[in-house]
Amino acid sequence: MAKDTPLAGKVALVTGGSRGLGRQMVLAFADAGADIVVASRKFQSCKEVATEVEAKGRRALPVACHVGHWDELDGLVEQAYDAFGHVDVLVNNAGMSPLYPDLPSVSEELWDKVLGVNLKGPFRLTALVGTRMAQGDGGSIINISSSGSIRAAPHMLPYDAAKSGLNTLTEGFAKAFGPAVRVNCIMAGPFLTDISKAWDPAVLERGMPYAALRRAGQPEEIVGAALFFATDASSFTTGAILRVDGGLP
In a domain, 120, yes or no: yes
Tens-place pLDDT, residues 220-249: 999 999 999 999 999 999 999 999 999 999
pLDDT at 129: 98
Does residue 249 lie within any of the structural domains?
no
Q: Is residue 4 part of a domain?
A: no
Taking residue 106's Cβ as centre, other Cβ atoms within 10 Å add up to 15
Q: Is 159 a catalytic residue?
A: yes
Q: What is the domain extent for residue 86? A: 11-244
* % of the chain at pLDDT higher than 70: 94
pLDDT at 193: 87
CATH number of the domain that 50 lies in? 3.40.50.720
Burial class (CB in 10 A: 0-12, 13-18, 19+), 104: exposed
**pLDDT tens for each residue of 100-121:** 999 999 999 999 999 999 999 9
Number of domains in the chain: 1
Query: Does 2 fall in a domain?
Result: no
- pLDDT tens per residue, range 153-203: 999 999 999 999 999 999 999 999 999 999 999 999 999 987 656 656 665
6 within domain boundaries:
no
Of residues 119, 212, 104, the one with CA closest to residue 172 = 119
The Cα angle at residue 240 between residues 237 and 244, in degrees rounded to 5: 110
- Asked whether residue 136 is assigned to any structural domain, the reply reads yes
Residue 133 belongs to some domain of the structure: yes
Q: Distance of CA 249 to CAs 159, 201, 202, Å?
A: 20, 19, 18
Q: What is the pLDDT of residues 126-144, one digit of tens each?
A: 999 999 999 999 999 999 9
Q: What share of the chain is helix, strand, coil (3-state, %, to 5)?
A: 50, 15, 30
235 sits in which H/E element:
none
